[in-house]
């Protein structure tokens, strides 16, 4: 029973052990260009401020906001985060395709039904597109976006990591240069000498869907999903591994039931061993006390 208690205490300590804070890598970091209509570098009141996902990415990359794909040609960046951008002209679409085709690596968040909450009025130019405007380009590369599903959902990837998505879509009809993974949420396409990883949701980088405390984005203990690991990993950087997540309430209930059953079995086994040690062996009686010899005169 003591050993069982020590084992359970160790498991609890490991479960609640704090993870180290994310620290920036020393030396030169790879340059990452970011093109987005989302408020990733500013707040709705016009104040310049990094969104939590950008704060995390700055620990692994030299992040540079870019207005147009036309600027990629003369830039040094070989990595691109393209998240729900505004409408591109034909020249910009051609420039984007050419940049990726020359060994560029892009993570593209294309949301067919963006639900990012904003207080800006409808029609404000600062609002991101409610529907992705990259559908034709994505289909040209080799995959087709499906209609979105309603509501918030915890989406488990094939490696056990979890992303929280909102009104996300999926992909269908992959061409030979593309493959669909992540339970249909992610498509990986070869574009010339480069690669484009396309995700059918952009809400997933909203800190309200992956971060419990917006003021502490560099503390993995505050992460409620593996979004930072996923984004950084697609772009070629590594962050500490995430937790082991409970897939559903039924899984949690079954785990508690098995834990209780295991505890009962261990307790029963310990009790049986304890009483067996106290009981004398069968066929033997308890030893009698030795008689004292009488002394002279007694």
| Res 124: pLDDT | 83
Alpha carbons 198 and 57: distance in angstroms, whole number:
18
| In a domain? residue 58 | yes
Query: Is residue 89 located within the same domain as residue 195?
Result: yes
| Res 79: pLDDT | 98
Residues of the chain under the 70 pLDDT cut = 1-18, 242-263, 266-268, 270, 274, 276-298
Query: Is residue 27 located within the same domain as residue 151?
Result: yes
Query: Is residue 148 located within the same domain as residue 261?
Result: no
Neighbours of 144 (CB within 10 A): 15
| In a domain? residue 134 | yes
| In a domain? residue 124 | yes
What predicted TM-score, i.e. pTM, was given to this entire model? 0.78
Domain hosting residue 204, numbered range: 19-234
Query: Is residue 213 located within the same domain as residue 268?
Result: no
State the total domains in the chain: 2
Alpha carbons 127 and 114: distance in angstroms, whole number:
11
Two tokens at 282?
Answer: 């069968």
Query: Is residue 160 located within the same domain as residue 192?
Result: yes
Query: Is residue 120 located within the same domain as residue 260?
Result: no
Evaluated on CA atoms 79, 132, 73, 124, the torsion sign reads negative
| In a domain? residue 9 | no
CATH at 208: 3.40.50
Query: Is residue 91 located within the same domain as residue 181?
Result: yes
| In a domain? residue 25 | yes
Helical (H) or strand (E) element with 154: strand 152-156
Q: Is 201 exposed, middle or buried (0-12, 13-18, 19+ CB in 10 A)?
A: buried
| In a domain? residue 286 | no
| Res 46: pLDDT | 75
Query: Is residue 264 located within the same domain as residue 166?
Result: no
In the block, residue with structure tokens 């600062």: 126
Instruction: Write phi, then psi, for 56 (nearest 5 degrees).
Output: -70, -45
Query: Is residue 270 located within the same domain as residue 205?
Result: no
């Amino acid at each position: 029973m003591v050993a069982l208690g020590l084992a359970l205490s160790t498991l609890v300590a490991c479960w609640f052990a704090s993870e180290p804070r994310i620290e920036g890598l020393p030396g030169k970091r790879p340059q990452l260009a970011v093109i987005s209509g989302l408020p990733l570098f500013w707040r709705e009141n016009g104040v310049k401020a990094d969104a939590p996902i950008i704060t995390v990415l700055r620990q692994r990359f030299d992040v540079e906001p870019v207005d147009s794909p036309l600027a990629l040609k003369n830039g040094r960046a070989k990595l691109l985060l393209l998240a729900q951008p505004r409408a591109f002209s034909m020249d910009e679409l051609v420039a984007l395709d050419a940049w990726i085709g020359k060994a560029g690596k892009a993570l593209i968040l294309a949301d067919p039904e963006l639900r990012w909450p904003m207080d800006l009025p409808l029609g404000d130019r600062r609002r991101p597109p409610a529907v992705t405007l990259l559908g034709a380009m994505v289909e040209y590369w080799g995959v087709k976006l499906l209609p979105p599903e309603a509501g918030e959902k915890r989406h488990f990837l094939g490696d056990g990591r979890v992303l929280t998505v909102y009104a996300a879509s999926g992909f269908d009809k992959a061409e030979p240069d593309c493959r669909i993974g992540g339970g249909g949420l992610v498509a990986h396409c070869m574009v010339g000498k480069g690669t484009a990883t396309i995700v059918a949701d952009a809400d997933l980088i909203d800190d309200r869907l992956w971060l419990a405390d917006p003021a502490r984005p560099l503390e993995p203990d505050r992460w409620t999903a593996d979004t930072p690991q996923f984004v950084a990993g697609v772009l070629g950087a590594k962050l500490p591994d995430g937790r082991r997540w409970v897939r559903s309430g039924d899984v949690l209930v079954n785990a508690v039931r098995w834990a209780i059953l295991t505890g009962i079995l261990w307790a029963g086994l310990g009790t049986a061993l304890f009483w067996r040690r106290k009981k004398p062996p069968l066929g033997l009686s308890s030893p009698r006390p030795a008689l004292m010899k009488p002394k002279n005169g007694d």
